[in-house]
A and B are shown apart, each in its own frame.
Chain A
Amino acid sequence: MITTAVTITVNGEAYSTEVESRKLLCDFIREDLRLTGTHVGCEQGVCGTCTVLLDGQPVRSCLLFAAQLEGACVETIESLATDNEHLHPVQRGFWEKHGLQCGFCTPGMVLTAKALLEENPDPTDEQIRTAIAGNICRCTGYVFIVEAIQAAARELRERGEAVDA
């Protein structure tokens, strides 16, 4: 089949549509849904900037076809903040610690970090560096990115404790 009918939930909203078989998930997100927060760099799985969460797990959206994703739940960077006043703790970490310069790698970096912190709320710097090894940043040198993720981890832990108390 050259086209396939799919229903994909993106950021909580279900989209039912016909997609061309060869349409990559990243292009479906950007072109069909006009969610341009997901960036596309190398289109060969190397740079990590197109990372999105598929059923909660970070994946390269340039290495998936939209046609494969019947019934799947995708989260993009647009799902994190509702407005400028309500950033996700990972976004706030990047904001406060200057974890970005040009911003091209940031969507993938933030989503990779979010998934890491859900699995490991108190990572070491080395664990953070291993987790983001597949997300290439050519501006920052990564130091501030690691600090940003540590700041987010602290905030999420404090918030978790506040909820538990």
Chain B
Amino acid sequence: MKPSRFDYHAPTTLDECIALLSRYGDDAKLLAGGQSLVPMMNLRLAVPEVVIDLNRVAGLASVRRDGDTLVVGAATRHHDVAMSASVREAVPLLAEAAAQIGYPAIRFRGTIGGSLAHADPVSEMPCVAVAVDAQLVLRSPRGLRTVPAGEFFVTHFTSVLEPDELLVEVRFPVMPAGAGWAFVEFARKTGDFAVAAVAAQLLLDSDGRIATACLGLAGVGERPLRAVDAERLLAGAAPGEQAVAVAGEQVAATVARQHGGTDQEREYKAHVGRTLTSRAVRMACERVERSS
């Protein structure tokens, strides 16, 4: 199908963009990479009266280091996040996840901000943002506010973004030296929507034990979740097969307890959650051991 008629605006500055947003509010949709919005418009699931294209707004697509923070502009494309030397060095988990989004043609257009604002509970960027406690910087006519990723996502395709608000940048804590990481997902075919995904980052103490574990889960709930029970069990553990098994079992138990679907779905998601968590923790442990 074809999209319904809309008014098209292509502002070149953030101020212009905010002015348009505050004028049209709920009637407007922001167009970044278009890899989720345009399919929805073509299917008439989204029928915005106004489309505000962010692709010509100056300064929204960039990656920079600000001390212990990696700042990624909202319009930075997945391909550029995946290939960026700064991202790979500062937050390798983010680069690894970006490389697994969709197909090459999707990654050349899709953006990190678009993916976060879309708030699909199975997608990669929300999972990583929640896992490593990224901060999302939002701009509106009222100014800037910063929201932790853990508070940004509400439910399926719903975030705390107000109709006149725009996500401008995402701030990721730089991964400490000697940490291990992994992003693993399972999809029915390469590049398809994931069934589930796990983001893991393990920080070690001076004795080589896990000091802090960050585990993000996608596809097992109505928004990306932290596997807090498994994280707690991993803290103080030695990296290795014992930790892998404990984390996997705990995630399976949590998903089995909390998942809202049918018995079959719950059982399946618990199984996938266990398997992916085990794979992610194992890979993160191997990287810890290799780098220490």
Binding site for B on A (CB under 8 A): 1-2, 4, 20-22, 24, 27, 43-46, 48, 51, 54, 57-60, 62-65, 67-68, 70, 112, 115-116, 129-131, 133-135
Contact = CB atoms under 8 A, between A and B. Distances in A.
Contact of A43 (B1, B51, B105, B190): B1
B137 interface: no
Contacts, number: 92
A58 B191 CA distance: 15
A22 B2 contact: yes
Interface residues of B, number: 31
B155 to A, nearest CB: 23
Nearest to B36: A45
Interface of B: 1-10, 31, 34-35, 38-39, 42-43, 51, 53, 55, 79, 102-106, 108-109, 189-191
Q: Which of B9, B55, B103, B105 has the largest count of A CB atoms less than 10 A from its CB?
A: B105
A62 B2 CA distance: 9
Given A21-B8, A45-B39, 10 more contacts: A4-B10, A20-B5, A21-B6, A24-B38, A45-B35, A45-B106, A60-B105, A64-B34, A133-B190, A134-B104
B4 A59 contact: no
A57 B106 CA distance: 10
B35 A63 contact: yes
A43 B8 contact: no
18 contacts: A1-B7, A21-B5, A21-B8, A24-B2, A24-B38, A44-B42, A44-B43, A58-B104, A59-B105, A59-B109, A64-B34, A65-B38, A68-B31, A68-B53, A68-B55, A133-B189, A133-B190, A133-B191
B42 A48 contact: no
Nearest to B9: A1
A45 B190 contact: no
A49 to B, nearest CB: 11
Contacts of B6: 21-22
A134 B9 contact: no
Contacts of A115: 104
B181 to A, nearest CB: 21
B8 A65 contact: yes
Contacts of B105: 48, 51, 57-60, 112, 134
Contacts of B103: 48, 133-135
A59 B108 contact: yes
A1 B8 contact: yes
A116 B34 CA distance: 22
Contacts of A43: 1-2, 42
